[in-house]
């Protein structure tokens, strides 16, 4: 991995890098174009509008942080096109990207992908078996997120580890509806993030579409789940986040996981 700026954190073997800053800018600097094998992105949903939600049985504010505020619909779509262009530039010819989101953001992401030239492969429905209730009682309970899987362009020969996914699905073709619990308490003991994804979800994504030694990137790394999943399965990793506190959680989780599991080097 060749970079033009100093990372926030580098693992001893160089296979796990974290960068602090605006992802739309850092995507131009952290790695050579065409060298990333897989990207997972969980961009801001822009939900911080002073509303309420339910968390652990309590009524709480939906407001998260400054990164989740301040854009209208046109601004949100412009933002999505900007970071997606940066990601597409970094993907290898046969690389793929996965983007997670709720109804608030995912339709803009999908349309932006089509505008930019990605090839849409699947839309995965991540179903949460035990979602928080809808406090207003004016809507169905929100129990899913969509994860769009896309290749760099129409010519891409994307990787799909079909046999492995069939094995995980009990010998049948894996469907595009995945029922996976929200992050367990054990995944939050070193710090939490308001949109943290379960490790099982990221492990499945990484195992489905990459190989050991591949380079995985997350432009909105949050609490570092993508990085933990990547390194756990022998992939190299680059994570970006504008919030140093998130990068500290990512760093701690990486160091804890590698110490506990005695992981081999992330390099092939």
Which tens digit of pLDDT belongs to each residue from 136-146?
Answer: 888 899 999 99
Q: Tens digits of per-residue pLDDT, 201-240? A: 999 999 999 999 999 999 999 999 999 999 999 999 999 9
Residue 257 lies in a domain: yes
Torsion of the alpha carbons at 165, 171, 175 and 179, rounded to the nearest 10: -80
pLDDT band with cut points at 50, 70 and 90 for residue 262: low
In a domain, 140, yes or no: yes
Does the residue 241 lie in any domain? yes
The answer to whether the pTM exceeds 0.85 is: yes
pLDDT at residue 247 greater than cutoff 60: yes
Print the domain residue range for 149.
Answer: 9-261
Residue 139 lies in a domain: yes
The mean pLDDT value for 176-195 works out to 92
| pLDDT for 148 | 98
In a domain, 3, yes or no: no
4 is a domain residue: no
Least confident of 66-70, 198-202, 241-245: 66-70
Number of independent structural domains in the chain: 1
CATH code assigned at 37: 3.40.50.150
Tell me whether residue 2 is in a domain. Answer: no
Confidence of residue 65 (pLDDT cuts 50, 70, 90): low
Is 96 a domain residue?
yes
């Amino acid at each position: 991995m060749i970079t033009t700026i100093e990372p926030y954190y580098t693992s001893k073997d160089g296979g796990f890098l974290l960068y602090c800053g605006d992802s739309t800018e850092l995507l131009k600097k952290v790695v050579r174009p065409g060298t990333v094998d897989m990207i997972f992105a969980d961009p801001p949903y822009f939900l911080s509008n002073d509303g309420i939600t339910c968390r652990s049985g309590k009524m709480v504010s939906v407001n998260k942080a400054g990164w989740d505020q301040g854009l209208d619909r046109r601004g949100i779509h412009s933002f999505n096109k900007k970071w997606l262009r940066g990601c597409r530039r970094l993907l290898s010819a046969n690389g793929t990207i996965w983007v997670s989101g709720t109804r608030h953001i995912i339709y803009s992401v999908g349309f932006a992908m089509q505008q930019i030239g990605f090839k849409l492969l699947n839309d995965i429905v991540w179903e949460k078996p035990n979602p928080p209730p809808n406090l207003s009682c004016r809507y169905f309970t929100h129990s899913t997120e969509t994860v769009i899987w896309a290749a760099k362009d129409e010519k891409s020969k994307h990787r799909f580890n079909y046999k492995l996914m069939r094995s995980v699905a009990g010998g049948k073709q894996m469907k595009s509806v995945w029922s996976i619990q929200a992050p367990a308490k054990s995944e939050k003991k070193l710090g939490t993030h308001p949109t943290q994804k379960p490790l099982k979800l990221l492990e499945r994504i990484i195992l489905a579409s990459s190989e050991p030694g591949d380079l995985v990137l997350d432009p909105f790394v949050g609490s570092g789940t993508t990085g933990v999943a990547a390194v756990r399965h022998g992939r190299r990793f680059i994570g970006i986040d504008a919030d140093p506190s998130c990068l500290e959680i990512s760093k701690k989780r990486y160091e804890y996981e590698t110490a506990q599991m005695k992981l081999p080097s992330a390099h092939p």
